[in-house]
Structures are given as C-alpha cells and as structure tokens.
Amino acid sequence: MSDLTKSLKTLMGDVVTFYFMAHGAHWNVEGPDFSQYHSLFEEIYSDVYGSIDPIAENIRKLDEYAPFNLKNFIDDRTLEFKAMNPEPKAMAKALLSANDKLIQAIDTAFKAATDANEQGIANFLADRVDQHKKWRWMLKASVA
C-alpha cells in the first residue's frame, strides 16, 4: 500500500470520527446559546459528511478498496472520540481540538499526494484543508 493510500485511509477514519463528533454535538448541545451552536454544528457535520465519499473515491482511483465498516474506520483513525460536555463552548472547544488534528491528517495526505504527483487528489485535499481552517476560525471565534 502506498503512503498516499495509507494516509487517505487514515484521513477517512479521522473524518468519519470527526463527523460523528460534530453530529453528536449538534444533537446534544444545551444551554442559552443552543440555537447558534446547534446551527454551527450542523453546518460542520454536513460539510464533513460531504467529504467522505470523495475521499473514498480518491482511494478507489489508486486501485485500493476504501474502508467500509466501523472496524476499519476505528482501526485506521488517529482521532480519539471522547465524551463531550453538552455545554456549547465545551463542545466547540472539543471540536476545535479535533479539527486541528484533522488538519494535520489532511496536510499529511496532501504531502503524500504531491509526492506521488497526484494533482487531482492534492487539489481536493487543498480544498478540504482550506474548509477546515474556516471551521477552525469559526470554532475559535465561538469560544472566545
């Protein structure tokens, strides 16, 4: 398995984990700022969910099989799923920390794509890191 394939599978496991974190935050957030955080978390999980299929397709373009069961996602991930306090700022802080780790995973995959001269995959990853930097900004602003 190439470095690129391995990094994409790790990224996919991390993205799936982050998706469930954001969706769980959306479902369980409580407090006086509920509505704003509920909406922010929905924006995040919707965007992240939309990136899962393209990651899988990029793995398939490399003639590998994409992970397709929970065990694979858990085995391949580097992000740890931790219980979150349902208070909005605590959830946003937890997502901010996980998002920063996800940015690192995207950067690793981007470097592997560039090294492998896979420009289309690199472009996709560049767009994803840009989006996650937007989520970083929004989450940081929400906990300030």
The whole-number average pLDDT for the span 14-40 is 95
| Average pLDDT for the chain | 95
The whole-number average pLDDT for the span 43-47 is 98
Please count the structural domains in the chain: 1
State the pTM of this model. 0.94
Can you give the pLDDT at residue 60?
Answer: 97
| CA max distance for the chain | 49
- Tell me the C-alpha to C-alpha distance, in Å, between residue 90 and each of 23, 81, 124, 142: 15, 14, 31, 10
Residue 114 has pLDDT above 80, yes or no: yes
What residues make up the domain containing 111? 3-143
Residue 82 has pLDDT above 80, yes or no: no
Which of helix, strand or coil describes residue 107?
A: helix
Residue 109 has pLDDT above 80, yes or no: yes
Query: What are the b/e assignments for 67-90, b being 16+ CB within 10 Å?
Result: beeeebbeebbebeeeebeeebee
CATH of the domain at 87: 1.20.1260.10
Distance between CA atoms of residues 126 and 24, nearest Å? 26
